C-alpha cells in the first residue's frame, strides 16, 4: 500500500504545489512581461500535468479507499464532495481562464481536500 500512498502524495504535491507556484511566482512574472502567449503556454503545460496528477489521484485514492474500507466514512464523503467541487471549479476556470476568483476558489477547495484527507482514518 505504500506505493499507492507515495503516488497519491506525489500527485497531490504536484497539483497543490503547482497551484502555489503559478499564483505566487509564474503569473506575476509572466504578466509583467505582457506576453499573453507565454502565459497561455505555461497554463496549458500545467493543465496537462494537472490532468495526469488528477488521474493518478483518482486511481490511487480508489485503491486506498478500498484497501482501508473508507468508502462509507463521513471524512471520505467530505473529501469526495470537496474533490467534486474542485473539479467543477477547474472546469469553470478553464472556461473563464482570466478569473482570479475562480483560481482562488479552486486553490482553497484543493486545500480543503488535503485537510480532509489528513483527517481520514488509516
Domains of the chain by residue range: 2-119
What average pLDDT score do residues 17-31 get?
Answer: 87
Confidence at residue 122, expressed as pLDDT on a 0 to 100 scale: 62
Q: At 17, list the grid cell.
A: 504545489
Q: What is the pLDDT of residue 105?
A: 94
* DSSP, res 120: S
Question: What pLDDT, in 10s, does the model give residues 66-104?
Answer: 999 999 999 999 999 999 999 999 999 889 887 889 989
Residue 56, pLDDT > 80, answer yes
Q: What is the pLDDT at residue 58?
A: 97
- For residue 90, the SS3 value is helix
Q: Which tops the pLDDT comparison, 81 or 40?
A: 81
Q: Where are the beta strands (DSSP E) in 1-122?
A: none
Q: Are 87 and 93 in contact (CB under 8 A)?
A: no
Binned at pLDDT 50, 70 and 90, residue 114 comes out as very high
Entry pTM:
0.89
> Average pLDDT of the chain?
91
CB 63 within 8 A of CB 5: no
Q: How far apart are CA 49 and CA 51, in angstroms?
A: 5
Amino acid at each position: 500500500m505504500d506505493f499507492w500512498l507515495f503516488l497519491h502524495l506525489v500527485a497531490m504535491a504536484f497539483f497543490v504545489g503547482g497551484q502555489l507556484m503559478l499564483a505566487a511566482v509564474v503569473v506575476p512574472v509572466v504578466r509583467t512581461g505582457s506576453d499573453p502567449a507565454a502565459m497561455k503556454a505555461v497554463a496549458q503545460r500545467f493543465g496537462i500535468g494537472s490532468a495526469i496528477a488528477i488521474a493518478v489521484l483518482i486511481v490511487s485514492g480508489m485503491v486506498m479507499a478500498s484497501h482501508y474500507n473508507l468508502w462509507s466514512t463521513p471524512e471520505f464523503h467530505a473529501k469526495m464532495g470537496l474533490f467534486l467541487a474542485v473539479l467543477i471549479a477547474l472546469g469553470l476556470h478553464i472556461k473563464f481562464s482570466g478569473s482570479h476568483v475562480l483560481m482562488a476558489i479552486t486553490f482553497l477547495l484543493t486545500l480543503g481536500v488535503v485537510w480532509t484527507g489528513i483527517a481520514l482514518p488509516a
